[in-house]
Amino acid sequence: MKSLRRSVRRIIVSVEMQVDVYGIPELQGKMEYFDETMRGFVDQALNYELKAMQDTAQYFAPKRTGYLARTIFVERVREWAFKFGARAPYAAFVEFGTRFMKPRRFLSRALQSGMPELVRQVNLAIEQAIAEASTR
């Protein structure tokens, strides 16, 4: 019997590549501009929609004297964080009810009805900031 010898060829493939990146300072400038622009657009959208939610809560609030509706507030806690509530001492009893009174959810209804539009407006603000930063 003959001995079979197989020859094995090794194929070595190498690729050498050089990547030159141009425009890094310009990109950084656009990113910084985008950050500032986005903050402005998002702040504007948040302020507008939160004011609309405050108006809605004032509309939903039961009115005998109107005091409860007048104490409804929106205040900024920090960037993009807000408090939404009513300062009337009895606001929680009206919102959540008592054993003698059914809840009259004026704050939670306003939040629930306004949240989809708030999210939509914030998304539009971000898209607008992206569009503006990319053309700069």
Q: What percent of the chain has pLDDT over 70?
A: 76
Number of domains in the chain: 1
Angle at 61 between CA 58 and CA 63, to 5 degrees: 105
- Is residue 79 a part of any domain in this protein? yes
132 burial level (CB within 10 Å; 0-12, 13-18, 19+): middle
pLDDT score of 14: 43
Per-residue exposure over 12-24, b if at least 16 CB sit within 10 Å of its own CB, e if not: eeeeeeeeeeeee
In this prediction the pTM is: 0.71
- Is residue 13 a part of any domain in this protein? no
pLDDT, tens only, 61-112? 999 999 999 999 988 888 778 888 999 999 999 999 999 999 999 999 999 9
* Domain boundaries, position 61: 24-135
- Is residue 19 a part of any domain in this protein? no
Instruction: State the average pLDDT for the chain.
Output: 82
pLDDT score of 11: 52
**pLDDT score of 30 more than 90:** no
Q: Which two tokens stand for residue 12?
A: 């070595």
Q: How far apart are CA 96 and CA 108, in angstroms?
A: 10
- Is residue 10 a part of any domain in this protein? no
